[in-house]
A = this chain, B = another copy of it.
Amino acid sequence: MQIAILLYPGFTALDAIGPYEMLNALPGAETVFVAERRGPVRNDSGRLGLVADAAFDEVTRPDVVVVPGGPDTSGPRDPGPVRDWLRAVDASTTWTTSVCTGSLILAAAGLLKGRRATSHWLALEELVPYGAEPTGERVVFDGKYVTAAGVSSGIDMGLTLAGRIAGDRAAQTIQLLTEYDPEPPYDAGSPEKAPADLVAEWRAKGV
């Protein structure tokens, strides 16, 4: 089972690494980080470089695709190599997935038309012009398309998908070994729970 995780300049690291850590632990999983060209790809802050071990033309039939988001996805949303590669590989994937604003990249490639999908809470409405139906849920399955909400939700997406692929016990094993028993020190992780003025501040600012 080949799992291809897309990298592009400006991706958010945890969007990629959350699902990676959940899915790569599956028996038989072989993950490859893929980008337009081989070599290091810088993240949204520029402080982190993750190596793409394969270029698009080397990964033609992945079973699972994971598309991370980032604060600015205008590049990979434009017509070009990312879009072309996503459309091509989606034709034969078992699962096509995204985290955070990665869903906007899938949507821009025309892959979420008429599908229920989620995204970062500040970006949900941007799904609409692409014909997707935004929902505020944390992990959304619609057929083979699986989208997750902001950044950290990729862990929940990855673990949920691990269970669908390999069964509950395999997923529970991954949860136990990654000690995924979260204890956030605050309860501000969604716009419904965070202080209202903080939410308003960021709705005004955007990401």
Question: Any chain B CB within 8 A of the CB of A88?
Answer: no
Contact flag A193-B181 (CB < 8 Å), given A24-B45, A32-B47, A152-B155: yes
Query: What is the size category of the interface that chain A forms with chain B?
Result: 35 or more
Query: Which of A78-86, A104-112, A194-202 interfaces with chain B?
Result: A194-202
Residues of A180-202 at the interface with B, using a CB-CB cut-off of 8 Å, are 180-186, 188-191, 193-195, 198-199, 202
Kindly report which residue of chain B lies nearest to residue A138, judged by CB atoms.
Answer: B183
Which of A11-19, A58-66, A90-98, A125-133 interfaces with chain B? A11-19
Q: Given the complex of chains A and B, what is the CA–CA distance between A100 and B120 in angstroms?
A: 28
How many copies of this chain?
Answer: 2
Q: Is the Cβ of B18 less than 8 Å from the Cβ of A47?
A: no
B contact residues around A185 at 8 Å (CB): 139, 156, 159-160, 163, 171
A175 at the interface (CB under 8 A from B): yes
With both beta carbons as reference points, the residue of chain B lying nearest to A178 in the complex is identified as: B151
Supposing A17-B14, A150-B179 touch, asked if A172 and B198 sit within 8 A by C-beta, the answer is yes
Q: Determine whether the beta carbon of A182 is less than 8 Å from that of B156.
A: yes
Whether A121 contacts B189 by the Cβ 8 Å rule is no
Q: Is A178 touching B159 in the complex (CB atoms < 8 A)? A: no
Contact A176 B188 (CB under 8 A): yes
Flag if A181 contacts B176 (CB, 8 Å). no
Q: Does A177 count as interface, using CB distance less than 8 angstroms?
A: yes
Q: How far is the CA of A152 from the CA of B45 in the complex (A)?
A: 21
